[in-house]
Amino acid sequence: MTSSNTPTTGRTDALPSCLPPDDIERHTLHNEVHARPTARIHLPALVVYVAVLNEGVSREDECRHLRRLPGQEALTTDDLALNFLRLRLDHYTMKWERHTEFTRYSIVQPLPEGAMLGAVNPDLLQGLLINLQWLREIPGKTIAAILMGMVPGDLQTPEQTLSAARAWLGNTPSTASVLGRNGHSWAVSDFLLRPDGFERILVVAPPDTLDTRAGRVSQRVLELETYRLMALRGLPVAKQLGPMLSQSEKALADIMANLENKAASDQELLDTLVSLAARVERATAEHVYRFSATRAYNELVSQRITELRERAIPGTQTMGEFMQRRLSPAIATVAATAQRLTSLSERVARTSALLRTRVDIATEVQNQQLLEKLTRGQELQLQLQTTVEGLSIAAISYYVVSLLLYGGKALNAAGFPINPEMAAGASVPLVLWVAWTATRRIHKRLQPVNRK
């Protein structure tokens, strides 16, 4: 008998028959929330974290490098299709994640002996289980490298624990934060790049900390530092664009000043403006993505700081305060440069419109002058045509009268009593009237054609 609490239609194989067809991206989008599960870290542990820029590095290159790990010879690119892979190796785990601009490798292993809380600047590289040559040959350019120690400690004795944590970092000036609303752990770091290329971060938590909580803390802290460095990649670009923007703004101001001068050559102004517009648009096309990425990464930094729910330890600065005070000026510089570039592009467009208007007005004036010249030429041509027509009437009349004269002489020679000269002279007015009338009729016939 089927229980009433058990739905009879809840079987997976019944779904295709009771739902519309799946969208092609449905399963991919649904599984995205599970694509990068949080690591489970058992204290004490050491997390070796390396993030590299993957520009020009293919997934095949990264798969080929991962196959060099012990027992991973059968790894294929299909295993990397979801941009996430966790490998369980001998006494440690490897997590590979590929993002748009960078790929990160996280190795979680037991904390080396002599590196517990209270040790003074312990040598962590000597206790790594991963092959150092393998780390050195990771394809890509390093953007972040962190050695994170996660150790148990007594959080009820802040002064002693903080002193031991600073000794673990080498007694350098450091920041320290109490994480979580209930203060479940501490994070201490000096954010210094050491000669071995790594930063160091120490997380202190009670011995009974859950593995999942330790994994979430490590992920947030590591992402915080990674996104901070990625956000700062826009700063060198902003500094590089500074002189170019200053020169372009001065050139645009000179063009605007010359626009007020009517004697300035439009062609020279146009050539200068086209060159300036090309320079600005090229800079926009090359760096607009970097500025947008900086803004996005900065938002992620703020989000991760919020998720940590930091509280200050008396006499120390929190990680969030340290980052924001040093990151905010850089982000402001990038944002100001991006706005400056956008504003310059808009001003160039407005100047182009003004110059185009000036050229159009000058062209209209030239066209008006040309039309006036054409009109004057047509008037002169009409006058000349009228004169020629008058001469044509006289010429036609002369030839007609001459023909009449010759005709009269022929008749007189034939014996007709006629005076050729008198007859020809008497016909002159009639011939002139007929020629003039014929010319007028021709004009009337041609007028509709001319109007068309």
CA atoms within 13 A on the CB side of 370: 6
| Per-residue tens of pLDDT for the chain, all 452 residues | 333 343 444 444 444 557 788 788 777 777 766 666 778 899 999 999 999 999 999 999 999 999 999 999 999 999 998 889 999 998 899 999 999 999 999 999 999 988 999 899 999 999 999 999 999 999 999 999 999 999 999 888 888 989 999 999 999 988 999 998 888 899 999 999 999 999 999 999 999 999 999 999 999 999 999 999 999 999 999 999 999 999 988 988 888 887 777 666 777 778 888 888 888 889 989 999 999 999 999 999 999 999 889 988 888 888 888 888 888 999 999 999 999 999 888 888 888 877 777 676 667 777 787 887 787 877 777 677 666 666 677 777 777 778 777 777 787 777 777 787 787 777 778 877 887 787 777 777 766 655 44
Give pLDDT, residue 432.
77
Burial 250-269 (b: 16+ CB within 10 A, else e): ebbeebeebbeeeeeebeeb
Give pLDDT, residue 16.
53
Give the other-Cβ count within 10 Å of 97's Cβ: 17
Give pLDDT, residue 8.
41
Question: How deeply is 115 buried, as exposed, middle or buried, from its count of CB atoms within 10 A (0-12, 13-18, 19+)?
Answer: buried
In angstroms and rounded to an integer, the radius of gyration of the C-alpha atoms of the chain is: 46
Give pLDDT, residue 396.
77
Q: Strand pairing of 84-89 and 45-53?
A: unpaired
Are 204 and 151 within 8 A, CB to CB? Answer: yes
Q: Under DSSP, is residue 230 helix (H, G, I), strand (E, B) or coil?
A: helix
Q: What is the pTM of this model?
A: 0.75
Give the C-alpha distances (Å, rounded to integers) separating 90 from 39, 94, 133.
17, 10, 17
Give pLDDT, residue 72.
92
Q: Under DSSP, is residue 361 helix (H, G, I), strand (E, B) or coil?
A: helix
Nearest to 188 by CA among 226, 162, 225: 162
Question: How deeply is 55 buried, as exposed, middle or buried, from its count of CB atoms within 10 A (0-12, 13-18, 19+)?
Answer: exposed
Give pLDDT, residue 97.
94
Q: Say which residues have a Cβ less than 8 Å from residue 270's Cβ, sequence separation at least 6.
A: 355, 359
Q: Say which residues have a Cβ less than 8 Å from residue 88's Cβ, sequence separation at least 6.
A: none
Give pLDDT, residue 395.
76
